[in-house]
Amino acid sequence: MKNIDSFISWAKRRGFAFESQEMYSGLSGVWDFGYYGTLFKKNIKDFWWKKFVESRSDVVAVESSILTKEDVFKASGHLESFTDPMIECQKCRTRFRADEAKFKGKCVSCGSDNLSEPKKFNLMFQTQLGEYLRPETAQGMFVNFKNTLETTRKKIPFGIAQIGKSFRNELVSSGNFLFRLREFEIAEIEYFVHPEEDDYYFNQWQKDWENFLTDIGLSEKNLKKFSHPKKDLAHYSKKTVDWQYKFPFGWKELSGLANRTDFDLKNHSQKTGKDLTIFDEKSNKKYFPYVIEPTIGIERLFFALLWEAFEISDGQNRLNKGEIILKLNPKLSPIKVAIFPLVNKEGMDKSAQQIFEDLKEKISCEYDDKGSIGRRYRRQDEIGTPFCVTVDGETKKNNSVTIRQRDTGRQKRIKIKDLYNYLETNI
Ligand code: GAP
């Protein structure tokens, strides 16, 4: 049975994620990504980008700065309202979130029931010069609303998309892997609509978003939708729906969709005196567009996708007990194909190297000639490589190799000249 501890140690061992600066005893809520983690993360972002930017003519992109002026967060309400309720233990002074899973009315550290009332703490990081590190990418899209509109000549409805680093001064409990971080990436879209069409587009985005979550590789049984009750809505929201994922420590927010109304554009316009309205040709009136915002943390998605794909064999299938296989969507796999010579002789290594050279510019691949072939297959299964190609004794005779499929372990022969086409159609 998989559990969070075996999962985290595998993720480190296989180069997906490392606690940042671990040799200096780590930095709470900050993680680094190893080679396979970096490739995997890039593939997640590319998948999102392809789906919501490249394949849509109504969504464009922007890359806005991380450093943000205080005035922007005054207008957006973050300075006042971007807070989390925290409880402080009066005995040992530990501070923890009021919604922390371990909190059962007693201090999560020393067990004392001498606790403060929940107090609000602002989650933004301020720099020494007074600017802030943004806690979300959204404001960078609102302050670029007019620039984008003018330079792309889009008409309402249209969206601005962005993926970027965000920072929150969160209290992080150990063992939650990438769930709650202080430095993380958000992928979000601000979709601008006519105020009378907000409910229609909200529903459209719900469908698009649900398809995205399942297309990328999460199963429906591990996802559930949660509508925020009115009293718990963020300061800018008329309606918010979250998608929760069944993380190893329970159902938790993975992603959200909010109707931000005209809150942000109106406030930025009022604070700066800049006109952020649209002229409606039908009614001959100006209006502030409403905003529908689908948002997701890339690291949370990274975590969910890995957890979903991670299996430890119980020995009842073709794998031995305890062997790990990562059944990732091949589009997200860090390495798409591994190329092996069966043995390092009779020219097999040269042929395998040649195949690797021919493929490596077109597809993410890896060459491996160390250890037994079985161990090489195992290693690739563990990092989710969908295909392994082996050059063997027959290759010289008829220019063919074996190609092995990760999830079934089945192999078939294929001509070297057909290899790339085969991979392209099956990934
Ligand atoms: N612009 C809206 C916004 O920022 P949010 O729900 O606060 O909304 C968006 O954050 C997404 O970012 C969340 O759905 C979650 O996936 C991710 N997220 C939020 N806080 C996070 C944290 N401390 N660590 C990792 N991911 C986080």
For residue 181 and ligand 1, the question of a CB distance below 6 A is answered with yes
The pLDDT score that the predictor gives to residue 238 is 95
For residue 297 and ligand 1, the question of a CB distance below 6 A is answered with yes
256 CA → ligand 1 middle, Å? 8
User: What span, in angstroms and rounded, lies between the C-alpha atoms of 243 and 296?
Assistant: 10
Contact 189, 89 (CB under 8 A): no
148 CA → ligand 1 middle, Å? 24
Specify the 3-state DSSP secondary structure of 197. helix
CA–CA–CA angle 58, 256, 234 (5° rounding): 110
Nearest ligand 1 atom to alpha carbon 242: 14
Is the peptide bond preceding residue 157 cis, with omega within 30 degrees of 0?
yes
What's 115's DSSP letter? B
pLDDT tens by residue, 308-341: 999 999 999 889 999 999 999 999 999 999 999 9
For residue 259 and ligand 1, the question of a CB distance below 6 A is answered with no
Distance from the first to the final alpha carbon of the chain? 29
The pLDDT score that the predictor gives to residue 108 is 82
Residue 110 region by backbone torsions, left for phi larger than 0, else alpha for psi between -120 and 50, else beta: alpha
For residue 303 and ligand 1, the question of a CB distance below 6 A is answered with no
The pLDDT score that the predictor gives to residue 99 is 75
**Which of 389, 381, 374, 425 minimizes the C-alpha distance to 407?**
381
Give the Å distances, CA to CA, from 49 to 161, 305, 314. 9, 17, 37
pLDDT tens by residue, 181-230: 999 999 999 999 999 999 999 999 999 999 999 999 999 999 999 999 99
For residue 296 and ligand 1, the question of a CB distance below 6 A is answered with yes
The pLDDT score that the predictor gives to residue 129 is 94
The tokens for 372 are 């037994």
Nearest ligand 1 atom to alpha carbon 135: 4
- H-helix or E-strand spanning residue 374: helix 373-382
CATH numbers and ranges of domains, the chain: 4-81+127-308 (3.30.930.10), 83-122 (no CATH), 335-426 (3.40.50.800)
For residue 294 and ligand 1, the question of a CB distance below 6 A is answered with no
pLDDT tens by residue, 49-107: 999 999 999 999 999 999 999 999 999 999 999 988 889 889 887 778 877 767 788 88
- Which pairing describes strands 223-227 and 183-193: parallel, antiparallel, or unpaired? unpaired
Long-range contacts of 245-251 (CB under 8 A, 24+ apart): 245/218, 245/300, 245/304, 246/221, 246/222, 247/179, 247/303, 247/304, 247/307, 248/2, 248/3, 248/4, 248/7, 248/307, 249/4, 249/101, 249/175, 249/176, 249/179, 250/101, 251/224
Q: Of the residues 295, 296, 299, which should be mutated to test ligand 1's pocket, given the most ligand atoms within 8 Å of the CB?
A: 295
Nearest ligand 1 atom to alpha carbon 186: 12
The tokens for 117 are 């009332």
- H-helix or E-strand spanning residue 227: strand 223-227
Q: Count CA atoms closer than 13 A to 385's CA, side-chain side.
A: 26
For residue 183 and ligand 1, the question of a CB distance below 6 A is answered with no
User: What span, in angstroms and rounded, lies between the C-alpha atoms of 97 and 210?
Assistant: 29
Q: Of the residues 73, 143, 186, which should be mutated to test ligand 1's pocket, given the most ligand atoms within 8 Å of the CB?
A: 186
As a whole number, mean pLDDT of residues 235-242 equals 94
User: What span, in angstroms and rounded, lies between the C-alpha atoms of 116 and 94?
Assistant: 11
Contact 280, 23 (CB under 8 A): no
The pLDDT score that the predictor gives to residue 101 is 63
pLDDT above 90 covers a percentage of the chain that reads: 88
Give the Å distances, CA to CA, from 3 to 102, 249, 299, 312, 384. 18, 10, 19, 10, 18
